[in-house]
Structure 1
Amino acid sequence: MPNQSSTPTASSLLTLTIAPAQVIRGGGVLSSTVADIAKLGTRPLIVAGNRTLGICQESLQEIFQAQELQTTSVSYGADCCEVTLKALRKAAKEHKADVIIGVGGGKALDTAKLVGHQLQLPVVTIPTSAATCAGWTALSNVYSESGAFLYDVALSRCPDLLILDYDLIQTAPQRTLVAGIGDAIAKWYEASVSSGHLQDTLVIAAVQLARVLRDILFQKAAAALQSPGSEVWREVVDATVLSAGLIGGLGGAQCRTVAAHAVHNGLTHLSGYASIHGEKVAYGILVQLRLEEMLQGNQLADAARQQLLKFYAEIGLPQKLADLGLGNITLAELQTAAEITLAPNSDIHRLPFPVAWEHLMAAMISTTAPNQLKIKNG
C-alpha cells in the first residue's frame, strides 16, 4: 500500500510568534535579572534613546558590570529608521555584540528588536514606560528620519527576554501610561472588526482577550492613574505592556490593527505635532467608530464612541484633532493624512466596507459628534 503521509509545504504552515521566551516582572527586578541576560550573551549592545541613556546609563553599567558583562551603549536617535538601523548594525559588529538589549519606549525597543533580527542575535527588552506593548511583540515599525511611518517588519520571534521592572516604569511621565491605555484598548475595537467573524481557535481566544482587556481598562484605568505603584496600577501596566502584546501573538497579523492604527500612521506624516503613539491611536479608534456609524449606520458603533468619549475625558486621552495639537490643521494637511491612511497596503482596508478619502476626512473632523450622520457609500 503506498505511503499516504505527506510533508507540509511552506505555504501550508502557520508560524506563530506568540510570546517572549521569558518574562520577568516585579518591583526592582532589573538588578536581579542580569544573570538571565548573561545566559544569552556577555557582550551586550544596549540600544536606547538619548534621554534614557542620560538617566539610566550609570546605574545600568553598574548592574551589568556586576556580572562582568562587556557592554557598549548606543542611542537610536529620534526614530527607528533606516539610517539608525545601519549605524547600529555597524556598532554591534564593531563591539562583537552577542546580544542586543533595548531599553526605553516603543521606538527604542522596536529598533533593538529589528537590529537583533537582522543580525540573528538574541534580544532583551527593558521597557521604561507602559506606553506600548513593543517589549512583547515580534514586530517593529520603521519610520523616516523625520518620524513618518513607512512600514512594519514581522520578526522571526518575540524577544528572548522581557524584563518588566515596575519601579523603572513608575519613573516615566504619567502621560505615557495614559497613551498606553489608548493603544491597548484599541485591540478590542480593531480585532473585533477584523477577526470577530473568524473560527480559528486562537483567533477567537485573541478577540476574547481583547474584550477582557478593554473591560479591565474601563474598570481600573482611572484608579490606577490616581495611585501610581499600587496593585491596581501594576494590573493596568500589565494590561498595556503584556496582555496587549499577547493578543497580536495569538491572533496573528489580522488581529492586530485596522483603522485606528492606520489613522495613526497617516498622522505621523504631518510635521511639527508632538502627540505620541497611543494618543494618535486612541483618536483613531474614534475615527474608526465614526466611519462605522456613517457608512454602515451602525448604532453599536455610535454607542461605543459615546462610551469612549466619556472614558477619554476621565483619563485624559484625545477626543479630537485639537487635542492632538492639530486644531489649526489645514484642509490640505488633513487630506494628506487621509490619503496616506488609505494607501493600498493600509490596514484600514480590513474594515468590512470601502472608505473614500472624503468619508475619512469627514470622520476625522467629527469624532465628538453627538448624533449619527449617515453617508451613503458609493
Structure 2
Amino acid sequence: MTDSLQTHAIAPALVLRGDGAWSQALPRVVALGQRPFLLGRSASTYSLRQQLLVDLERAGARPVASQGFRDCCDEDLLPLAQDAIAAGCDALIAAGGGKVLDAGKLLAHRLGLPCITVPTSAATCAGWTALANMYTPEGAFLGDVAIERCPDLLVFDHDLVRQAPARTLASGIADAVAKWYEASVSSGSSDDGLVQQAVQMARLLRDLLLLEGEAALADPSGEAWVRVAEGCALTAGLIGGIGGARCRTVAAHAVHNGLTQLAATHGQLHGEKVGFGVLVQLWLEEQLAGNRLAAQARRQLLPVFRRLGLPTDLEALGLGGATLEDLRQVCRFACRDGSDLHHLPFAVAPEDLLAAMVGATVDRQQT
C-alpha cells in the first residue's frame, strides 16, 4: 500500500545562473532582506565574502557577517541564531560549500527568514535542496534534517564558482554520478511516474558527467565546464526534488557517513568519500547479489575516477594507517539501524561492508 499524498520541495523559488549572476541578483537579495546575515566559513573564500559584503552595502543593504562557524552542528547553529536575532537580521545568505549552505538553510528555517544560497563551488547540490546534513563539531556525520522548502533564491554565479579549486568540481562529479547508482537501486522498480522520471534524469546526468567531466576540468572557460558544473550543483538537486523521499541515497552516501566518523578522512571532500562509496556499493551488488552489470560499471568507473583525481582506495582517503578496528567502526556506523545502506535490496552486515571497502583497494592494485 502506498501513501495517497506525497510532498515535494522541488526547487528554489528562483534560480539565477550565469556569469555575473551575483551582481544581477543584488536587487532581489535586498528585496528579500535589508539586514541580511552572511554566513561563511572557509578562509580560502574570506576575500570573496568580503566583496559580497561590499556589494550588499552598495546595493543599500546593511549586512552582518557571521563569526565562529566551524561545522553544520547545533553547537554552532544555536549561537549563530542568537547573533542573527540580536543584530535584527531579516534574511540569511549562505555563501560557501556544502556545509555552509546546509547550515544556512537550516538556520533560515529555524529563524523563519528568507534564505539565499550562493555556492562558491560545484562540489555539491546543497545550494538547491530542502535538506541539511548535521555533524558533530568535530565533523562526524549525525543525520540529515528535512527542511520545509528549498531556498528562496539560489545564485549560481559562474565567475564565483570558477575560482574554486578543480578538486571541488571533481568531487561534485562523484557526488552527482552517485544519484544514478543509488536512485536506480532504491527506486528503479517504483510505479510512481515522478520517481521514474527522476531516476532517468539521474542516468542522463551520469552520462553527461562521465562524457564531459574531464573536459570541464581541463578548461574552466569552456561550455563543457558550464554543463558539468550546473549538472553537479543544480540538476542533481532537481533530481532529488522531483524524486522526493522515495528517490533515496543508498550505500554510497552511507559509506560517506561512516567514513566521517574517523578524523583521518576529514581532509577529504564530501563527494570524494561518496565516490568511493559508489565503488563499494557496486562491489556489494556484484558479490552479494551476483549483479554482473554492477561489476562492469565498477570497472568503467575506476579509471574515470582516477583520471579525475578522485580517491579510489583507503590509502587515498587518508586511511592507509587505519587499524582494523577503525574500519569496523566505519562499517558499524554505515550499517546502523535506519541507515540508507539498508535501501539495498539485500542484507549487508558490517563484515560484508568491510570486505567491500578492502575490495576496492584490491581492485586498484589489480587493474
TM-score range, shorter chain: over 0.9
Alignment partner for residue 294 of structure 1, among 267, 287, 292?
Answer: 287
Deviation at 1:331, TM superposition (A): 0.1
Alignment partner for residue 217 of structure 2, among 215, 225, 230?
Answer: 225
Q: Which residue of 2 aligns with 1:242?
A: 234
1:292-313 C-alpha deviation (Å, 9 max, x unpaired):
1111111111000000002112
Q: Which residue of 2 aligns with 1:374?
A: none
2:359 aligned partner, one-letter code: S
Q: Which residue of 2 aligns with 1:211?
A: 203
| Distance in 2 (alpha carbons) for counterparts of 1:123 and 1:207 | 28
Deviation at 1:52, TM superposition (A): 5.3
Q: Which residue of 1 aligns with 2:186?
A: 194
1:348 aligns with 2:320: no
Q: Which residue of 2 aligns with 1:266?
A: 258
Q: Which residue of 1 aligns with 2:131?
A: 139
2:319 aligned partner, one-letter code: L
1:357 aligns with 2:357: no
1:310 aligns with 2:310: no
Gaps of 5+ in 2: none
Partner secondary structure for residue 325 of structure 1: helix
| Distance in 2 (alpha carbons) for counterparts of 1:361 and 1:48 | 36
Deviation at 1:369, TM superposition (A): 4.5
Question: In percent, how many aligned pairs have the same letter?
Answer: 50
Greater Cα offset, 69-78 or 329-338: 69-78
| Distance in 2 (alpha carbons) for counterparts of 1:57 and 1:20 | 22
Q: Is the 8 A contact 1:142 1:151 kept in 2?
A: yes
Deviation at 1:12, TM superposition (A): 4.4
Q: 1:172-187, aligned counterparts within 5 Å?
A: 172-187=164-179
2:291 aligned partner, one-letter code: N
1:124 aligned partner, one-letter code: I
Q: Is the 8 A contact 2:314 2:361 kept in 1?
A: no
Deviation at 1:17, TM superposition (A): 0.2
Deviation at 1:173, TM superposition (A): 0.7
TM-score by length of 2: 0.96
1:280 aligns with 2:273: yes
2:117 aligned partner, one-letter code: T
Greater Cα offset, 215-224 or 55-64: 55-64
Deviation at 1:216, TM superposition (A): 0.1
Deviation at 1:254, TM superposition (A): 2.6
1:30 aligns with 2:27: no
Say what the alpha-carbon RMSD is for the aligned residues: 1.3
Q: Is the 8 A contact 1:46 1:101 kept in 2?
A: yes
Mark the structure with the bigger radius of gyration. Answer: 1
Query: Structure 1 76/345 Cα, relative in aligned 2: closer, same or farther at 3 Å?
Result: farther
1:214 aligned partner, one-letter code: R
Deviation at 1:357, TM superposition (A): 0.9
Q: Is the 8 A contact 2:128 2:233 kept in 1?
A: yes
Q: Which residue of 2 aligns with 1:3?
A: none
Q: Which residue of 1 aligns with 2:61?
A: 69
TM-score by length of 1: 0.93
Query: Structure 1 75/283 Cα, relative in aligned 2: closer, same or farther at 3 Å?
Result: farther
Query: Structure 1 76/304 Cα, relative in aligned 2: closer, same or farther at 3 Å?
Result: farther
Gaps of 5+ in 1: 1-10, 372-378
Alignment partner for residue 48 of structure 1, among 40, 49, 52?
Answer: 40
| Distance in 2 (alpha carbons) for counterparts of 1:232 and 1:182 | 16
Deviation at 1:20, TM superposition (A): 0.4
Q: Which residue of 1 aligns with 2:72?
A: 80
Q: Is the 8 A contact 1:131 1:176 kept in 2?
A: yes
Query: Structure 1 171/340 Cα, relative in aligned 2: closer, same or farther at 3 Å?
Result: same
Q: Which residue of 1 aligns with 2:162?
A: 170
Deviation at 1:321, TM superposition (A): 0.8
1:29 aligned partner, one-letter code: A
Q: Is the 8 A contact 1:76 1:111 kept in 2?
A: no
Q: Is the 8 A contact 1:89 1:115 kept in 2?
A: yes
Q: Is the 8 A contact 1:74 1:88 kept in 2?
A: yes
Alignment partner for residue 51 of structure 2, among 49, 59, 62?
Answer: 59
Structure with the largest fraction of helix: 2
1:343 aligned partner, one-letter code: R
Query: Structure 1 170/76 Cα, relative in aligned 2: closer, same or farther at 3 Å?
Result: farther
Q: Which residue of 2 aligns with 1:94?
A: 86
Partner secondary structure for residue 232 of structure 2: helix
Deviation at 1:256, TM superposition (A): 3.2
1:125 aligns with 2:120: no
Q: Is the 8 A contact 1:26 1:164 kept in 2?
A: yes
| Distance in 1 (alpha carbons) for counterparts of 2:175 and 2:358 | 20
Q: Is the 8 A contact 1:52 1:104 kept in 2?
A: no
